[in-house]
Amino acid sequence: MAALFVVLAATLLQRTYARNYTVGDSTGWQVPLNNSNFYEDWASNKDFVVGDILVFNFTTGRHDVAEVTEAAYDACNITNTISIDLNGPAIITLNRTGDYYFFCAFPNHCSRGQKLKVEARSTSSVPSPGSSPTSPSSASSLVATLSLFFMSIALVFLC
């Protein structure tokens, strides 16, 4: 019974680690009308981790989602892309740590602000090959272990 609760608690915890984000929320993925920092602002208060999913919601044929290098991103240079998703909504899983650069490769959409940079950090549940024991993830691992412990205790007392 206790083992079942631990599994249940672990499942609940796990869900808090992989999140599904709709880029731009209700605005979706389009050329921002009045704020060219719109997507930067959208990302600024979020904490992305490996496993999180970005949903770029757009109408196929009006926009696209290209993953590009930092240099291409900074210059809005659409010549070369790492990958490109032409069909909306595009679903991209952040499957590695580090910076990701996206823009819409339609002419002038990037320069008008349809660009997004996110940084995915590692989690305790999905350690990256490069993470060391002194990395910040050890702190979140401790928090995860403690909350799992208290959640199991709480669940046992509830029954």
Ligand X SMILES: *[C@@H]1O[C@H](CO)[C@@H](O)[C@H](O)[C@H]1NC(C)=O
Q: CB under 5 to 8 A by kind: which of ligand X, Cu ion, none does 96 bind?
A: ligand X
Beta bridge partners of 85: 65
* Secondary structure percentages of the chain, helix, strand, coil, to 5: 35, 20, 45
| Interaction between residue 115 and Cu ion (CB under 5 A) | no
Q: Of 109, 113, 116, 137, which lies in the binding site for Cu ion, with binding defined by CB under 5 A? A: 109
| Interaction between residue 21 and Cu ion (CB under 5 A) | no
Q: CB under 5 to 8 A by kind: which of ligand X, Cu ion, none does 109 bind?
A: Cu ion
Residues 90 to 129: which contact ligand X by CB under 6 A? 91, 95-96
Strands 98-103 and 65-68: antiparallel
CA distance 96 to 121: 8
Looking at the Cβ atoms of 73 and 152, the one nearer to ligand X is 73
Q: Of 6, 13, 55, 84, which lies in the binding site for ligand X, with binding defined by CB under 6 A? A: 55
CA distance 4 to 59: 44
